[in-house]
Amino acid sequence: MPAIKENFTEYIHNLQNEICSALEEIDGKAEFREDNWKRDGGGGGRTRVIEKGGVIEKGGVNISTVHGELPDPIKKHFNVDQGWFWAGGVSLVIHPGSPMVPTVHANFRYFELYEDEEMQQRTDGWFGGGADLTPYYLWDEDAVHFHKIFKDVCDSHGADLYPNFKKQCDDYFFNTHRGEARGVGGLFFDYLRADENRTLEDWHAFTTDAGKVFLDAYLPIVRNRMPEPYNPAQKYWQEIRRGRYVEFNLIHDRGTLFGLKTNGRIESILMSLPPHVRWDYDFNPQPGTKEEELIEVLKNPREWV
């Protein structure tokens, strides 16, 4: 029977192909550029980036499987003197051109630890990941749809999962220095280990099921909002809000910081950043506008389903 990491490796390769094909189809203009890369120390990945499309201004869908000796910052984090690891995952960020279509982020990953360099005997293993939606103009039904798709997956694996992972998402994707969420949330989970309630195989099934419904959660929203007209002022607002997205990724995001501290591939790590961003001094939306309405929701995360 194949090990979890072999199954998960096949899964992320297939999921990358499926998501990229669907995004190219809905974009109708641009195609993904592919870079295959190797990591010093072991493993590598396949980065795919799409730019200047009919719908997508910039996006990336990346996979990687890397292994080797634990980098020093990670040894310190786990309080070990030596150790080896294997990590695999898929990570994506899509920045649409229209401010009416929300940005989306998702990743699904698996990590194993070993005491021996041959990496034959796993000493620890866990899953992590999630998906979250970042609108610039908010339609409540879009947030409800996004959350409901992932809640249904969670509920099929346990009634306790969605409330827990929804709250973790609200807490994690929060710009504490601004006092506001990055978006309207979704799911966030990490360190899903075997315990008295679930095996590692159970968490593998949950994580892969969550990844499988990503397109169901996001594409209907894209199709509904693509035809919406917008003006230069609304595009300007999108670029202001993108600045908050960049702030989160560079200040708070653990994955970005992990990559930067462990000599990760910079182009793949910073793929998540949008192409056009603004930081106007003390910019605030006008009272009573859709822009102000969004900020109120971001300051006070809601229960969507």
Candidate CATH numbers 2.40.10.480, 3.30.430.20, 3.40.1500.10, 3.40.50.2300; the one for domain 4-299: 3.40.1500.10
Helix (H) or strand (E) holding 173: none
Of the residues 67, 77, 95, 105, only one is catalytic, namely 105
Return the closest-CA partner of residue 62 out of 22, 19, 117.
Answer: 19
Query: What is the model's pLDDT at position 2?
Result: 67
Query: What does pLDDT average to in each consecutive run of 10 residues of the chain (305 residues)?
Result: 88 98 98 94 94 98 94 79 92 98 98 90 94 98 98 98 98 97 98 96 98 98 98 98 97 88 84 95 96 97 96
Question: Which residue's structure tokens are 């634990």?
Answer: 70
Domain boundaries along the sequence of the chain:
4-299
Count Cβ neighbours within 10 Å for each residue of 172-205 and write b for 16 or more, e otherwise: bbbbeeeebbbbbbbbbbeebeeeeebebebbbe
Model confidence, pTM: 0.95
Q: Which of 118, 115, 127 is nearest to 75 (CA)?
A: 115
Give the pair of three-digit tokens for residue 36: 């295959």
Q: Residue 289: how many CB atoms within 10 A of its CB?
A: 11
Number of other CB atoms surrounding residue 227 within 10 Å: 8
Check residue 1 and give its pLDDT.
47
Answer yes or no: 13 catalytic: no
